[in-house]
Amino acid sequence: MANGKTKTASVELTILEGVKGGITLFVSVGKLQTDIYNSIVPTISDATQATFSWAVTEGVYFPITSTFSYLVLSPNVLSSGTKYTLSVTLNSPDSVAPIQAVLSFKTNSPPICEDLYVTLYATPVWDLIAYNCDDGDSSDYPVTYQFGAILNSLKSVYLNTPLSFSEIQIALPSDTKKVTAKVCDSLGSCSIYTNSTGLKGRRTENDEKTIEAFQTYIINPENIPSGITYYATAATSSTIDIFFNSFFNYFEDSYIDSFTFDLMLDSIYTLFRINTKVSDKTVNKVITLLLNTLNNYITFLSSTQVKSIFSSIETLSSKIISSKMVALINQTRKLWIKSQIPNISVSYQNTLSISFSRVHYKELTGYRISQPKLQAVFADSADISDKGVYDVSFAKFYSGDEETFKYSISQSGQYANYTLSLYEPIELYDSVALEAKIFSDNTHAKNLVCEAVSEFNWTSGACHVKSWTSYYTVVGLKYPCTFRVVQEKDSENELNLAIFIAYGVLFAGLLLVFLVYCRDRNSKVKRKIKKLVLLLVFLVYCRDRNSKVKRKIKKLVEIYPVTGLMISQDRIWRIVLALQLSASQALLLALIGAYFKYMASNTEYTIANILQGAICLLISQAYTLSLTLVNFSILRQENSSCSITFSILTSIFVFTISISSIIFLIYDDMIGIEYLWLTSFAISSAIDIFVVQVIYSLILITRNQWAGIVVIPDLNLKSNVTEYSFARSPEESAAQKRISDLPLIVEDKNDINGTPREGSDSIRGIQFENLVTKSKSKREMSFADNMNTNKDKR
């Protein structure tokens, strides 16, 4: 419907009970439009049991099968410029003769044009002329003109708001198949003319030229909608925001009538089909503007506009927040159905599907909803009033990658004593049973569950899976609700996964700790066990056997994050790091395995799945490297207070960012099985970094004996070696004092030929352990000499 209004012919008919003879009431109304629904609703009082029948007594004949007192004439059933007389007859068993009322009306004639001319004005602008147009009745002025295009997809789009003049210079979309001119009179009756003469595709330009041409074209703000339709098809990631900003500037500052609303929907249709990726934030901003327009400006929606709304947003509907999608469905249904009488419906069926209906009780029994991959029928309506008028809404949309269904039913009126009365719909919460059969391309498993989605407080609906086959699932619904059919969570699988993770962490951690701890106890580890160790553990184990490990492998060991940090620390600190790092790696691998197990149960493995797993592993190594660099930077700090501050701030920062990201995912309704590895990685990373950094800070603060850490500054800093005092025996303290009095020895770890010297455990060329060894050796030798001397004396 062009002007967003509807016309209703009302017949006042009074019937007295037991009247004998005939009564004829003749009523004449004005002109009716032929391209909209026309409702005829008599008002009847005090009627006895009777039957109604309608008939065409004058005008172009068409069959009428309605047995109700009201009548709905569908679009294009009536012929333009024709006089009609309809009769309604009430046959009462208490009357000698039937009672009849007659309705007389004339249909409106839309404007008539001689032709639509299309000529190239100046690339890319075309000159469009609706030539020699006039109102069909020569009475309903003014006549308005709205130009548009039919695309190759057969989608019709408008390019301007209605004008009072019949000529325009405007840019046409690159995939225009035909040009259209919609010419309407003051009553809203319209004629559409088309022409496809001389149309050519638009030449592709680079980003700079496209934006320059677009900004020149929209100097006149009225050209923004047509400019978007023409230039936005060439948008790229660097230019797409310019088109969306122009869209928001135009429609946020405009008064939105029915014609402008059509223009907005067509602009959304173009922008949502751009090949460049559109962000979720931008998509939801467009939906917010659409909702505000429906709430504040639009008073009624035609069936054509309902279909246009969902066809415009369909391409990017999966990016729309589910709560906004539900709100859009509700508001669209409300504006379309508010003035409709029973037995009327509208539906849009595609990837995104909707079905709105207003039906009488008789039609509700056995009422069937048919959409792609869905059939729904009212299985039991015993608790529904046999005098009620009901609104039924069923929609299918995507929440992320999940198919979500919204079902609701409301009572919107009564039909009693042959009188129809409508009121504001009241949502029903009693036993209104609907049985939905949902088809799927994949074979359903037996552990499916009907999961209710609570978007608002009123969505307290209950649903359950009644039966299933290899092709479809039968779902029973008792209340209006939003729901989806998902795979039931298997508690046994979750338990097995938890056990797998726990044992994986324990085994990997203890194995790595044991081998690193026992690297100085070489004789206790058999060679067969070494061969079973992972490459990472093997390299750590072989780190101190310089004669057996080639120089290239040694460099790899020192560079790799896990080993590079551990090998330079004392044994107990190596245990802490080994346990933490192996636990995080094992946990991440377990989660990735669980994710791919889920993928294998639902889809076949693809290159994308494999690449996703590879990216997960790369991320885990990057995380480990970042953790290593943080700790290594702390080791290099000369001032321990700076190390502690840096450590704590880093841990708090990473922990906060990770938790904030998880909250954002939950808030945006994005958490799902496909985000399992990402969410788990964020959590484990936050906890790992937080715990390790805090422990490390405490070690630096307390400097107790169990840590055994020696912080070594850079040799170029010309500073003294940091010393730590630990609780020792008197003999060891005396030995340590003698060691501290010795000069600092700095030497190269390699000999003249570059071969590593045996027995050297020096770090950065500073020999600490050798000094202790020499001190102990002297003390032990002195003790042995004394024993021998005493023996000789005896």
Enclosing domain of residue 64: 8-107
Question: Rounded to whole angstroms, what are the CA distances from 572 to 420, 671, 706?
Answer: 86, 40, 7
Q: Where would I find the H helices in 257-300?
A: 258-271, 280-296
In a domain, 325, yes or no: no
Mean pLDDT of 330-356: 87
Task: Read off the CATH number of the domain in which 458 is found.
Answer: 2.60.220.50
Model confidence at 213, pLDDT cuts 50, 70, 90, reads confident
**pLDDT at residue 288 in the model:** 92
3-state secondary structure string across 261-273 = HHHHHHHHHHHCC
In a domain, 179, yes or no: no
Which residues touch 406 (CB under 8 Å, ≥6 apart)?
326, 329, 393, 394, 395, 396, 397, 481, 482, 483
* 574 shares its domain with 649: yes
SS3 386: coil
Residue 99: which of 107, 91, 87 has the closest Cα? Answer: 91
In a domain, 96, yes or no: yes
* 13 shares its domain with 80: yes
**pLDDT at residue 697 in the model:** 52
* 626 shares its domain with 749: no
Beta bridge partners of 46: none
Residue 397: which of 322, 291, 474, 335 has the closest Cα? Answer: 322
Question: Rounded to whole angstroms, what are the CA distances from 794 to 326, 785, 788, 790?
Answer: 103, 14, 10, 6
* 444 shares its domain with 549: no
**DSSP letters of 92-104?**
-TT-SS-EEEEEE
* 552 shares its domain with 450: no
**pLDDT at residue 488 in the model:** 59
More confident residue, 169 or 729: 169
The rounded distance, in Å, linking the Cα atoms of 228 and 173 is: 9
* 460 shares its domain with 587: no
Question: How do residues 610-636 score in pLDDT, each as one tens digit?
Answer: 555 556 555 555 555 555 555 555 555
**pLDDT at residue 529 in the model:** 46
Please determine, for residue 350, whether its predicted confidence score (pLDDT) is greater than 50: yes
Out of 114-123, 206-215, 740-749, which region has the weakest mean confidence (pLDDT)? 740-749
**pLDDT at residue 112 in the model:** 92
Question: How do residues 176-200 score in pLDDT, each as one tens digit?
Answer: 889 999 999 888 888 999 988 666 6
Phi, psi of 134 (to 5 degrees): -155, 155
User: How many residues are recorded in the chain?
Assistant: 794
Which among 150-154, 430-434, 564-568, 747-751 has the top mean pLDDT? 150-154
**pLDDT at residue 113 in the model:** 93
Model confidence at 212, pLDDT cuts 50, 70, 90, reads confident
Whether the Cβ atoms of residue 134 and residue 111 lie closer than 8 Å to each other: yes
Mean pLDDT of 656-682: 47
Total Cβ atoms within 10 A of residue 379: 14
**pLDDT at residue 762 in the model:** 41
In a domain, 58, yes or no: yes
Out of 472, 488, 504, pick the residue that ends a domain.
488
**pLDDT at residue 600 in the model:** 47
Mean pLDDT of 604-609: 51
* 753 shares its domain with 644: no
More confident residue, 413 or 694: 413
Report strand pairing: 99-107 vs 24-32.
parallel
Task: Say what angle helices 303-313 and 258-271 make with each other, to 10 degrees.
Answer: 20
The rounded distance, in Å, linking the Cα atoms of 340 and 529 is: 81
Out of 193-197, 374-378, 390-394, 679-683, which region has the weakest mean confidence (pLDDT)? 679-683
Please determine, for residue 384, whether its predicted confidence score (pLDDT) is greater than 80: no
In a domain, 712, yes or no: no
Phi, psi of 58 (to 5 degrees): -150, 140
The rounded distance, in Å, linking the Cα atoms of 789 and 16 is: 144
More confident residue, 600 or 458: 600
In a domain, 716, yes or no: no
**pLDDT at residue 130 in the model:** 93
* 416 shares its domain with 502: no
**pLDDT at residue 129 in the model:** 93
The rounded distance, in Å, linking the Cα atoms of 226 and 294 is: 22
**DSSP letters of 16-73?**
-TT--S--EEEEEEEEE-SSS-EEEEEE--S--S-EEEEEEEESS-------SSSEEE
**pLDDT at residue 541 in the model:** 42
Phi, psi of 371 (to 5 degrees): -135, 165
Which residues touch 270 (CB under 8 Å, ≥6 apart)?
157, 173, 228, 229, 232, 233
Q: For the chain, what percentages of helix, strand and coil (3-state, to nearest 5) are there?
A: 40, 25, 35
**pLDDT at residue 404 in the model:** 84
Out of 177-181, 237-241, 286-290, which region has the weakest mean confidence (pLDDT)? 237-241
**pLDDT at residue 2 in the model:** 39
Out of 57, 84, 107, pick the residue that ends a domain.
107
Beta bridge partners of 473: 438, 468
* 531 shares its domain with 413: no
**DSSP letters of 517-534?**
HGGG-GGGS-HHHHHHS-
* 563 shares its domain with 623: yes
- Where residue 293 falls (left for φ over 0; alpha for ψ -120 to 50; beta otherwise) is alpha
SS3 769: helix
The rounded distance, in Å, linking the Cα atoms of 87 and 55 is: 5
Which among 186-190, 232-236, 306-310, 387-391 has the top mean pLDDT? 306-310
In a domain, 392, yes or no: yes
* 771 shares its domain with 736: yes
Mean pLDDT of 510-533: 49
Question: How do residues 671-683 score in pLDDT, each as one tens digit?
Answer: 444 444 455 555 5
Mean pLDDT of 729-744: 49
Find the Cα–Cα–Cα–Cα dihedral 653, 656, 659, 661, rounded to 10°: -70
Question: How do residues 20-58 score in pLDDT, each as one tens digit?
Answer: 333 344 455 567 888 888 888 776 665 556 677 888 988
The rounded distance, in Å, linking the Cα atoms of 30 and 107 is: 8
Please determine, for residue 780, whether its predicted confidence score (pLDDT) is greater than 50: no
Cα within 13 Å of Cα(669), Cβ side: 18
Q: Is 525 exposed, middle or buried (0-12, 13-18, 19+ CB in 10 A)?
A: middle
- % of the chain beyond a pLDDT of 90: 11
The rounded distance, in Å, linking the Cα atoms of 387 and 259 is: 38
The rounded distance, in Å, linking the Cα atoms of 243 and 263 is: 15
Phi, psi of 10 (to 5 degrees): -110, 130
Mean pLDDT of 237-258: 88
- % of the chain beyond a pLDDT of 70: 49
Out of 179-193, 471-485, 710-724, which region has the weakest mean confidence (pLDDT)? 710-724
Please determine, for residue 330, whether its predicted confidence score (pLDDT) is greater than 50: yes
Out of 157-166, 255-264, 359-368, which region has the weakest mean confidence (pLDDT)? 359-368
Please determine, for residue 277, whether its predicted confidence score (pLDDT) is greater than 70: yes
Mean pLDDT of 240-255: 89
The rounded distance, in Å, linking the Cα atoms of 211 and 787 is: 97
Out of 162-171, 436-445, 729-738, which region has the weakest mean confidence (pLDDT)? 729-738
Q: What is the mean pLDDT of the chain?
A: 67
**pLDDT at residue 368 in the model:** 75
The rounded distance, in Å, linking the Cα atoms of 663 and 87 is: 65
The rounded distance, in Å, linking the Cα atoms of 32 and 340 is: 16
Instruction: Give me the number of domains the chain comprises.
Output: 4
The rounded distance, in Å, linking the Cα atoms of 214 and 782 is: 95
Residue with tokens 């993928």: 599
Residue 436: which of 460, 468, 411, 470 has the closest Cα? Answer: 468
**pLDDT at residue 577 in the model:** 56
Task: Read off the CATH number of the domain in which 52 is found.
Answer: 2.60.40.10
In a domain, 266, yes or no: no
Which among 254-268, 451-465, 490-504 has the top mean pLDDT? 254-268
Whether the Cβ atoms of residue 149 and residue 176 lie closer than 8 Å to each other: yes
* 352 shares its domain with 484: yes
**pLDDT at residue 10 in the model:** 45
More confident residue, 138 or 431: 138
Sign of CA dihedral 599, 605, 611, 616: positive
